[in-house]
Amino acid sequence: MPRISIGDCSLYYERHGMGFPILFISGLGGFASFWQDQIAAFAKRFEVVIFDHRGIGQSDPARIGYTVERMAADVVSLMDALQIRRAHVVGHSTGGAIAQVLAIDHPGRLASVVLSATWTKADAYFRRLFAFRKEVLMRLGPSTYLQSATLYWYPSWWVAKNNERLRQLEAQNLANFAPIDIVASRIDAMLAFDRSNELARINTPTLVVGAEDDIVTPAYFAEELARLIPAAEVKLFPRGGHFLVHVRAREFSNAVLPFLVSHTPA
C-alpha cells in the first residue's frame, strides 16, 4: 500500500481517478476509508486523494502534541510530497476544522473548500458531548467507545436498517483503532480549536454542508459558518445525521460535485 514521507513520519494515502485534485480529509477517526462511498462519484471527474492521518490506520503511529493546526500542517506536507500545488479540499467534522485552518493560513493552496458537518468552536453542548465520549474511551475502552459512537454518528432509522453493516464497520474500526492516548489527544485538540474570529478572512469559495438531525455537530454550527465566512454557500439536509457522507452518499456527491466543478481552474 502506498505510503509517503512528510518529514518526521510517513502517511498512508490513495489516489483515484484523473483530473484536478480533491483532497478529502476525514474526521476524528482519521481513516482514509471513511470516504469509500464517495470515491467512485468524484473520481469520474477529479483525482481523489484520501489518506490516514498521522498516528492512524496504516500511517506511522507517531505521537505529537496534537492540535488542529498541526494536523493542517501534515496536510500541507502531504500536498508538497505528492507535488500537489493546489487542490479542492473537502473536510468532514475534524477534517472540516483542518480545512478551516487551511483556508485561513494557506489560501493559495485551495481552489475551493467544502466544510461538512463541522463546527466553529466548542460550545457548552460540544464540550459536554466530547468530555463524555473521552470518558467512555478511557474507562470502558475502544469497543464500547465505537459502539456508542454509532448512536451519535447515524440517525436511529438508518441504524435500524443497516445494523449488520454497522457491526462490520465497528469490527473493522476496532481492529484498526489507534492507541487510546492518540485518540484522547485528538479529542483535546478538537475542544481547543477556535479560529472563529478569523473566518471572515476566508476568501476561498466555500460550501458548508450539514444535516438538521446531526447531534454531534448540530446544524446551528453550519449556519454560523455560513454567516461568518464571506459569500459561503450552505446546504442542509433534513435527515442524514453526523455521517451524512454515508447516510446521504448520493445526495452528498450531487450537492458537492457541481460546486467543485464550478470552481475548478481551467
Using one digit for the tens of pLDDT, what is the confidence trace for 34-57? Answer: 999 999 999 999 999 999 999 999
For residue 130, the model assigns a pLDDT of 98
For residue 136, the model assigns a pLDDT of 97
Write out pLDDT tens, residues 93-141. 999 999 999 999 999 999 999 999 999 999 999 999 999 999 999 999 9
Neighbouring C-alpha atoms within 13 Å toward the C-beta of 139: 6
Class of domain 3-121+195-262: alpha beta
Indicate the pTM of the whole model: 0.97
On whether the CB atoms of residues 19 and 42 are closer than 8 A, the answer is no
DSSP-derived 3-state class of residue 106: coil
On whether the CB atoms of residues 259 and 233 are closer than 8 A, the answer is yes
DSSP-derived 3-state class of residue 155: coil
On whether the CB atoms of residues 23 and 90 are closer than 8 A, the answer is yes
Write out pLDDT tens, residues 155-203. 999 999 999 999 999 999 999 999 999 999 999 999 999 999 999 999 9
**Using the 8-state DSSP alphabet, how is residue 198 labeled?**
G
Mention every residue, 6+ apart, whose C-beta is less than 8 A from residue 49.
13, 14, 15, 21, 22, 23, 24, 82, 84, 87
Q: Taking residues 15-41, report their average pLDDT.
A: 97
CB atoms within 10 A of CB 156: 10
Q: Copy the grid coordinates of residue 233.
A: 454557500
For residue 1, the model assigns a pLDDT of 62
